[in-house]
Structure 1
Amino acid sequence: MNKDYNIGVFDSGLGGITVLKEISRLLPNENIIYFGDTKNVPYGEKTKEEIQALCERIVRFLFTNGCKLIVIACNTASIAAYEYLHKISPIPIVGIINSAVDSIPYNTYKEIGIIGTPFTVNSGEYPRKIKEKDENLKIYSVGCEKLCPMIEKGWENFSDRRVILADYITRIPKSAEALLLACTHYPLILNDIKDIFEGDILDPGEECAREVFRTLKANNLFNPKNEKGKIEFYVSGDKEIFQKKAQEFLGYEITRLFKVNI
């Protein structure tokens, strides 16, 4: 496999750009293809089988377009499809769930909160994996049905956004010392979350980038070229909405953005 092939990053929509930002910061020489399935967002309301079918099409698209490693930058997709994709993919797969669990500084907190999509929370995957590392850590999980769709449509367009966000976060006891963002969309509204939650905020994006680094190293797949990598964006839905929001967060103009039907 060519070492100058791409890192593929995909999400149900916009959220995975928070992970892409960390990957491009840590690995600036790598070429990256980002796919946002904006036509089918949100994934959190779909069945496991539906999510697996969508993810399989995306992985095949990324592999066909010259990817050497794929990152599932979506918690819901990672829970529903990581094991399935790992079995069928001809290239390494990195899932955000393991990175998120590893991003928790263990033996630091007694209680933490978790917010994510209803699918992510109802799966019970986070408490199960966290308890394997610290069985005494008390965990409070809240499924946030409205947040992902609101962020995709434009968070600032909802006058009641802070009331809705506060309703979810205040379901977590004040005794919780940290809040794990178990949806990659949530760092896009980080300032509002910080205004409501008084403890530490745990964003797994940076740890996911480190896992990508370790996976490339283990497979001898680092891009040897000493030049800034190229980033291409693909979406299955509206290009303009995605472009506006992504540019605001990433802080640069996106010129290579394509709509595809897979």
Structure 2
Amino acid sequence: MSKSSPIGIFDSGVGGTSIWKEIHSLLPLEHTIYLADSDNAPYGEKPQEEIVRLSIKNTEKLLAMGAKIIVVACNTATTNAIQVLRSNYHVPFIGIEPAIKPAALQTQTKCIGILATKGTLTSALFAKTSDLYSKDTKVIEVVGKGLVQEIEKGNKDSEKVEAMLVDLLQPMIDEGIDYLVLGCSHYPYLIPTLKKILPSYVKIIDSGMAVAKQTKLILQSMDLLTSTSQMPPQFFTNGDPKILRNLITSEENNYEVTYLDF
């Protein structure tokens, strides 16, 4: 393992690119490899044993590609599998959890909403975090049923998704939330639509920048941060490369996405 080795990132599909963007922005010199397990998305409705198996599969693929650190850019995989990964592999792992703490500390109405997958909301790790930080706060938990599937199809801005979000968010709005925590790495791609639906005073929190900062901190502590520009980011998917490419390509960068059967 060397400073020039890549940062490995995996998710149940394309959503974790929201995390990749924060990492790439904070650490532009680092070589990143992104693995989208879209063929098995969504993880949020699978049993824990299956989530662990898929997380191990993704980890071993990234290790074979030389990853010096692995970012589990999936809330469901983090809350259900990261302890198993950390106990079985020597490489450091960075996980992603719903940002309950900042929402609970800053809420004025003492009521916050969490939009997440079933797999995250029913996990022991989520329950522990929620209990720790939300003792004096009412937490409205809503399963974002069907949202990941629509984003994986490239439909994040569709009228169908907007209608789904109206139905999902109304109970939270009725209860008086002033913070909405996004508990799935796919959901930041819904922020423009969320802002159309939510009252203007409701603040939206996701975990992307916190994950990027933690990745930098761990690499610094292990003296694994590179100081010279590495090769361009690499993206692999076992789903439709066009959908992943559409999320990461901008006017400045036209990243290559490769289909990989893994």
Q: What is the TM-score with the length of structure 2 in the denominator?
A: 0.91
Q: CA deviation at 1:246?
A: 3.2
Q: CA deviation at 1:228?
A: 5.8
Output the amino acid matched with 1:129.
T
Q: Please tell me the root mean square deviation across aligned C-alpha atoms, in Å.
A: 1.9
Structure 2 vs 1, CA of residues 28 and 63 (structure 1 numbering), >3 Å: closer, same or farther?
same
In the aligned structure 2, how far is the partner of 1:175 from the partner of 1:22?
30
In the aligned structure 1, how far is the partner of 2:235 from the partner of 2:115?
27
In the aligned structure 2, how far is the partner of 1:21 from the partner of 1:161?
23
- Unmatched tracts of structure 2, length 5 or more: none
Task: Work out whether residues 14 and 246 of structure 1, in 8 Å CA contact, stay in contact via their aligned partners in 2.
Answer: no
In the aligned structure 2, how far is the partner of 1:158 from the partner of 1:179?
21
Task: Work out whether residues 19 and 212 of structure 2, in 8 Å CA contact, stay in contact via their aligned partners in 1.
Answer: yes
* 2:227 paired residue among 224, 229, 234: 224
In the aligned structure 2, how far is the partner of 1:45 from the partner of 1:106?
27
Q: 2:51 — aligned with what?
A: 51
1:78-93 equivalence runs, <5 A:
78-93=78-93
1:14 pairs with 2:17: no
1:171-182 equivalence runs, <5 A:
171-172=171-172, 173-182=174-183
The residue matched to 2:14 in structure 1 has which SS?
coil
In the aligned structure 2, how far is the partner of 1:4 from the partner of 1:196?
44
1:150-189 equivalence runs, <5 A:
150-155=150-155, 158-172=158-172, 173-189=174-190
Q: 1:236 — aligned with what?
A: 238
1:111-260 equivalence runs, <5 A:
111-123=111-123, 125-155=125-155, 158-172=158-172, 173-198=174-199, 199-225=202-228, 227=229, 230-247=232-249, 252-255=253-256, 257-260=257-260
Q: 1:95 — aligned with what?
A: 95
Q: How many residue pairs get matched? A: 257
Output the amino acid matched with 2:105.
N
The residue matched to 2:211 in structure 1 has which SS?
helix
In the aligned structure 2, how far is the partner of 1:153 from the partner of 1:76?
19
The residue matched to 1:114 in structure 2 has which SS?
strand
Using the aligned pairs only, state the percent identity.
31
In the aligned structure 2, how far is the partner of 1:24 from the partner of 1:150?
25
Q: What is the TM-score with the length of structure 1 in the denominator?
A: 0.91
- Unmatched tracts of structure 1, length 5 or more: none
In the aligned structure 2, how far is the partner of 1:252 from the partner of 1:174?
42
Output the amino acid matched with 1:241.
I
Structure 2 vs 1, CA of residues 27 and 14 (structure 1 numbering), >3 Å: closer, same or farther?
same
Task: Work out whether residues 8 and 69 of structure 1, in 8 Å CA contact, stay in contact via their aligned partners in 2.
Answer: yes
Task: Work out whether residues 100 and 134 of structure 2, in 8 Å CA contact, stay in contact via their aligned partners in 1.
Answer: no
